[in-house]
Structure 1
Amino acid sequence: MRLGRIRKAGFQRHFQRGLRLWVISGGCNLDGKAVNWRGRCSSTYKISSNNEDGYNDMPSGTNSSRRLFGLTVRQNAHPDMRRLRREAGDPSLHGNKFWKSSCLIMDYLKRNPLQQGARVLDLGCGWGLGGIFCAKHFDAKVTGLDADPSVFPFLEYHAELNGVAVKTWRCYYERVRKQDLAGFDAVIGTDICFWDKLEEPLYNLTRRAMQAGVGRVVLADPGRSPFRRLAERAADKLDATYCEWRVSRPMAASGCLMIAEQR
């Protein structure tokens, strides 16, 4: 994992070789000292157990379900997931399971919450856990967008399981217009830049979102090359933040975040 690369609005910090490297991990550096990142990080280092503030990530008591950031998530071995695959078929565009990078975006949003009732577009939603998290914890009005409609039964199942409602929208990134984006306060996406050919449409969508007045675009990825190129381009051209992020609980995950915000 490449540590320490942080790009921020109007701010680039370079370190000489052998000096401190930084990694964003709940707002802390490698020495366990807090980073004052846009004034939204906690004042002391603490590895989050996510057992506070209503998140309640306790073992589910079954190996076919788990608790993550206050959500109940079925694993593929669960009978309901097997039934959905029989009825809806397996999703064709990698929306066939829970992706660990969802933990990165949920941890970020836990520490940098949206406004209550925010309108959220979940790009390449798959099972939709990021959007469901927003609906559950911020009472967000969420729309899950995906090009593959076979993911929607899995999203709708998990939304109902967690006591929320999420709208669905079958669409490709290239066809999301500026006027569409103007109806949202935030755009999120997890593990959606996994092919080289996705870099350009996702950059253009982020640019249109900023032009449309969307308050925040947050994308998470385990650190694939297409995503890193996307994040670097957004940092250079759109004044976005590009940083490493990791969580240890309730599931170990590491990768990158790209955050574009209105200035």
Structure 2
Amino acid sequence: MTKSQQEKFDNFKALHDNGQTFVIPNAWDAGSSRILTHLGFIALATTSAGYAFSIGRRDAIAGLSRDEILTNAKAIVDATDLPVSADLEDGFGSSPDACAETIRQACDIGLVGGSIEDASGDPDTPIFDMGLSVDRIQAAVDAAKDRPFLLTARAENFLYSRPDLDDTIKRLQAFENAGADVLYAPGLPDLDAIKTVCAAVSKPVNVVMGLSGGLHSVADLAKAGVTRISVGGSFARAAWAGMIRAAEEVRDHGTFTYAQDAIPDGVISQMMSDERRR
């Protein structure tokens, strides 16, 4: 039976409230959404990076429009009965109103969660100042009020060569006070920093794995206090790496041994069937 948006939201919220750490892998299209559902994951996220690569674009702030991101997210939502939370980048505008409108449109297509980051896209001042960052999150919180939607607030310092843990924590605490449901600082340098962030806030913390560097296990992150673990665009990059290795074998050696490791057509066809997505 197809689940309603409210049912998906209730399931998603329960995952954040039950005291257990869970993995939320990032799908980049309907096909990857169905495969991850088939593999038994309990919630999905989207990835702007993975989607950008799939349409021949690079991942960058303002590189993808709100309409493009939400159209892609809706395809992922429609391919699964799992809760889906979207990478909503900077909210598609610097103003609080732009963030609020993004949240309203995200709710309208069936998403039950999404993230707003504090990166500005300006190389000279890559992070919005604290006041504006909080106002943007507050507007997103207000837009999500009374809707089936969990808002994740992101502090982007460590992705933009600003490795200031104190400022990152202050931002996350301010976002928590503004009403964000989940807190997220991608690119934290080590497990000690992750523990420090988790101890400094009372809302669930998301940590991303699959970036260069940390190879912490789910068990390690659970002990550190992490509630939710995403993988960003790394599954998409892993998929592209497999294709590149196959293509290089054919180009350089004229052999096709890669096919021995390829998923059989019948298996992937079954994963893509409507019956297997639920």
* Alignment TM-score, normalising by the size of structure 1: 0.35
- Tell me which structure has the larger Cα radius of gyration: 2
Higher strand share: 1
